[in-house]
Structure 1
Amino acid sequence: MRGKGRLDVEIETPSALQKVEDNDLARRAAEGDRRAFDRLVHRWRDRLWSVASRMCRDYDDAQDVLVGAFSRAYSRIHQFRGDASFGTWLFRIAANECMGLRRSELRKAERLERETDRGLETRELPDLSLLPEEAALSSDLMDAINRAAGSLSEPLRIVFLLRDVEGFSNEEVAEILGISVPAVKSRLHRARAAVRTELEHYLAS
């Protein structure tokens, strides 16, 4: 739906039943049931890829985050207690993977800058503008949203994606990122303001 100064996106969030089923699958996986974990991967891979591709903004990095997150989740499944939803727990692992990758890339970039006799490799970013779960939205709107989100700083972009695209609550986003709820609200406010500014022309049309 279009409206000036307002962005309405239909968000599909996990149902209470799915959360119960996820917890049961996680318990069974912790007991050694590999098929139970495979079902969790099937349930969450698309949503995790959606966020990873936007957080990383690079196809290969997003693949690394996706594989790394599920690998760590599998190795740590016995640590999942069910206090938070499985999705919250999984997305926190993914967020840590992404931030760890970013720190590693920054260190590599610093080393490359010191190697004056070598040029930096440039890589073309893939077009990740549309994914299957977004088919209900206008392609123009989704392109505009992705461009606007891509212009945000990483801390603001991650909060915006988790809260407004994936539909996690403020409390869940705080749990995923390991920050306070007020910090989530502050970043979300700034992110939404920046996105609205970027989308002003589209929303007014």
Structure 2
Amino acid sequence: MERIAATELALDPRLLDEEVVRRVRAGETALYEVLMRRHNRAVYRAVRAILRDEAEVEDVMQQAYLRAYSRLDQFRGEARFSTWMISIALNEARGRLRRRATEATLDDGTEGDATAPGFSETLPSDPEQQASALELASITERAVDRLPSDLRTVFMLRTIEGLDTADAAEALGVSEDVVKTRLHRARAHLRAALADAVEQSAPVAFPFPARRCNRVVAAVLAAIEATRH
């Protein structure tokens, strides 16, 4: 199957995930690409919420997809494929996190930190607006990265990826009330963090660059000169 065909099929709402899974099981393995293209963003965000390390994210995504492929016979359609896939991705990411912590402990004899340092799909056409949007996205990402892991994961799935409460709870293996509570706490943390960010950036807000200064000065001087004649 050509890549362009897979892209088109991934966007076709008439082809349900359950049908794709059935056909992959039946031997049309190339169709697995359709599932990956459909759910790459959600899987990325789930893994990224756990690891916070871009260097590892794609590797873990690949491992998650391979594990899901090997377990397709276990997918019963009781939950959405996206929810099932996210659950597998989260487990892979958590496994990587545990191994990272263990390796850090063995390396230096101390408790591993298991954290790493810390998009845009639709940007305005205006370059200045693009820069502002990217800066806001960067501030948001840094604030989300500072959230505790359980809050960060819920916020990523519910607010950034847009899963509903039931799907997020299913993927995480917790109750809907837990999801709601964690989301509320995550938003409270982020409001405080973003408020701090605004306070810190306030002194450099609303700049008046030299080119604008020059334009105003030139216009005023030109108007003054005109009145002298």
Distance in 2 separating the partners of 1:100 and 1:20? 33
**Partner amino acid, structure 2, of 1:89:** W
**Partner amino acid, structure 1, of 2:50:** M
1:49 deviation in Å?
Answer: 2.2
**CA distance change for structure 1 residues 199 and 18 in 2, over 3 Å: closer, same or farther?**
farther
**Partner amino acid, structure 2, of 1:148:** A
Aligned to 1:3: none
Aligned to 2:63: 68
Distance in 1 separating the partners of 2:179 and 2:191? 18
Distance in 1 separating the partners of 2:122 and 2:189? 21
2:154 is the counterpart of 1:166: no
Aligned to 1:142: 137
Query: Per-residue displacement from partner, 1:28-66 (whole Å, max 9, x unpaired)?
Result: 112221122111112222332244234312123212210
The structure richer in helix per residue is 2
Counterpart of 2:180 in 1: which secondary structure? helix
1:87 deviation in Å?
Answer: 0.7
Where does structure 1 lack aligned partners over 5 or more consecutive residues?
1-16
Counterpart of 1:152 in 2: which secondary structure? coil
Work out which of the two has the higher radius of gyration on C-alpha atoms and give 1 or 2.
2
**CA distance change for structure 1 residues 18 and 103 in 2, over 3 Å: closer, same or farther?**
farther
Distance in 1 separating the partners of 2:55 and 2:193? 27
Distance in 1 separating the partners of 2:14 and 2:144? 28
**CA distance change for structure 1 residues 125 and 198 in 2, over 3 Å: closer, same or farther?**
closer
1:148 deviation in Å?
Answer: 0.8
1:107 deviation in Å?
Answer: 1.2
Distance in 1 separating the partners of 2:87 and 2:190? 24
When the two structures are superposed, what TM-score results if normalisation uses the length of structure 1?
0.77
Q: Percent sequence identity over matched residues?
A: 34
RMSD, matched Cα? 2.7
Distance in 2 separating the partners of 1:98 and 1:154? 12
2:46–2:90 Cα contact (<8 Å) kept? no
1:23 deviation in Å?
Answer: 1.5
Moved more, 55-64 or 81-90: 55-64
Aligned to 1:26: 21
1:174–1:180 Cα contact (<8 Å) kept? yes
1:92 deviation in Å?
Answer: 0.5
How many residue pairs get aligned? The number is 179
2:73 is the counterpart of 1:85: no
Counterpart of 1:83 in 2: which secondary structure? coil
Moved more, 28-37 or 52-61: 52-61
2:169–2:179 Cα contact (<8 Å) kept? yes
Distance in 2 separating the partners of 1:140 and 1:150? 15
Where does structure 2 lack aligned partners over 5 or more consecutive residues?
1-11, 125-129, 206-229
Of the three residues 179, 183, 202, the one matched with 1:184 is 179
Counterpart of 2:16 in 1: which secondary structure? helix
1:148–1:199 Cα contact (<8 Å) kept? yes
Distance in 1 separating the partners of 2:21 and 2:44? 20
Query: Per-residue displacement from partner, 1:80-105 (whole Å, max 9, x unpaired)?
Result: 11121111111010011111111111
2:23 is the counterpart of 1:35: no
**Partner amino acid, structure 2, of 1:40:** L
1:113 deviation in Å?
Answer: 2.2
1:73 deviation in Å?
Answer: 1.0
